[in-house]
Amino acid sequence: MGAVVSGLTRGAWRVVVVDDGSADDTAEAARGAGATVLRHILNLGQGAALQTGIDFAVAEGAERIVTFDADGQHDPADIPALLAALDAGADVALGSRFLGAMEGVSRPRALLLRIAVAVSNTISGVHFSDAHCGLRALRASVAPALRITQERMAHASELLRNIRTQRLRVVEVPITVRYTAYSRSKGQGVLQGLRILFDYFLRRSGRPPRERPC
Amino acid sequence: MLIRLLLLGALGLIGYQVFLRRRRLPVHIVLVLGMLLLAGLAVLFPDMTTVVANRLGVGRGADLVNYLVEVGLLFIVIHYYAKFVELQEQITVLAREIALLRERQERLGAAARGTGAGSNAPSS
């Protein structure tokens, strides 16, 4: 955790870590490495954690927001390319490990990822080479349009659907993903994949959350 | 028959509970009490259900009652699932708000103490 955050602070970006109700010293390690830590008092899932971080960044007046997985699978060296894509006029820049490179990935996992991409493309109606990559950049101005309501992992497909319905300008940027024993243990298997699909359809058919004026 | 007594007793108890909890629109109450009344009639005159069932193209009254209960239970499950999802979303909003508030509080506290926690200072 500390190593991931230090890798980012070296780039002089402001780093926000969302601690999704973990019981270990994640928050301390991240804070020690120079990140702002937001702590969920309950475990709410990755989608909710992403949205909390984005809300905070927008409230702090950020112009561009990069989402970055904390398990060490992403490389901070890929961030400038994502930001450059925003500067070139994109609203959202999605990292793609299939355009880029994957290190340390097993064959079954690569196949599973391909299937996940195909399923995601089919149900979200947009076609990308990689659907569930955690490394992305977005303009703060489009953050409200991308609002995520899926708490668990189905948020990635939800994000893509929002991109399509809001007609945002998207580009894919090749990135490198490094699978380590740790990131693999945090990754998603077939069963989780099915659960994500289940979540996606159930939530989608459910009533949209009511907007409450404050 | 003993079963009739038991069923009528149960229906009566349900009706009493509904009546006690009458915070909703009277329409709901009337609807529920109406359904309980129908159920009570079905208990007292079971042959009535067969008459209705035959009208609808179902052979036996017991089958008709069965179908209605199944559909009703499914409806209730879906209703509560929707409620559950709504509640989950509300909890998410709350936990997020707490996370953001705590961060601000910590930052203000650090600033007030004058400890100058450099990394946490507002960037703008």
Q: Which pLDDT tens digit goes with each residue over B71-110?
A: 999 999 999 998 998 898 899 999 999 999 999 998 898 8
pTM for this structure? 0.73
Record: contact B92-A44, CB cut-off 8 A: yes
What does the mean pLDDT of chain B come to? 86
**pLDDT at residue A41, as a whole number:** 92
> Count of CB contacts below 8 A, A vs B?
57
Beta carbons within 10 angstroms of residue A170's beta carbon: 18
**pLDDT at residue B67, as a whole number:** 93
- Report the half-sphere exposure of A192 (CA within 13 A, side-chain side): 12
Q: Which of B88, B103, B123 sits opposite A151 (nearest CB)?
A: B88
Record: contact B96-A40, CB cut-off 8 A: yes
Say whether pLDDT at B123 is over 80: no
CA-nearest of A166, A161, A158, A198 to A51 is: A158
Would an 8 Å CB–CB cutoff place B103 in contact with chain A?
yes
Would an 8 Å CB–CB cutoff place B63 in contact with chain A?
no
For the residues A83-105, what does the mean pLDDT come to? Answer: 85
Chain B hits for A35, Cβ within 8 Å:
119
Give how far A56 is from chain B: nearest CA, Å.
7
Say whether pLDDT at A107 is over 90: no
pLDDT above 90 covers a percentage of chain A that reads 17
Candidates A31, A44, A51, A150, partner chain B, best to mutate (most B CBs within 10 A): A44
Say whether pLDDT at A211 is over 60: no
Residue B47 and residue B52: Cα distance in Å, rounded?
9
Q: Write the Ramachandran bin of A72: left for phi over 0, alpha for psi from -120 to 50, otherwise beta.
A: left
**pLDDT at residue A113, as a whole number:** 78
Say whether pLDDT at A203 is over 70: no
Look at A10 and A42; give whichever has higher pLDDT.
A42
- Rank A65-79, A132-146, A195-209, B66-80 by mean pLDDT and report only the highest: B66-80
Contact A102, A177 (CB under 8 A): yes
**pLDDT at residue A130, as a whole number:** 77
Would an 8 Å CB–CB cutoff place B95 in contact with chain A?
yes
Would an 8 Å CB–CB cutoff place B79 in contact with chain A?
no
Record: contact B122-A14, CB cut-off 8 A: no
ipTM value: 0.74
Q: Per mean pLDDT, which range of A16-20, A102-106, A109-113 is the poorest?
A: A102-106
DSSP secondary structure string for all residues of chain B: -HHHHHHHHHHHHHHHHHHHTTTS-HHHHHHHHHHHHHHHHHHH-THHHHHHHHHHT-S-HHHHHHHHHHHHHHHHHHHHHHHHHHHHHHHHHHHHHHHHHHHHHHHHHHHHHT---GGGS---
Would an 8 Å CB–CB cutoff place B108 in contact with chain A?
no
* Residue B80: closest C-alpha in chain A: A206
Say whether pLDDT at A165 is over 60: yes
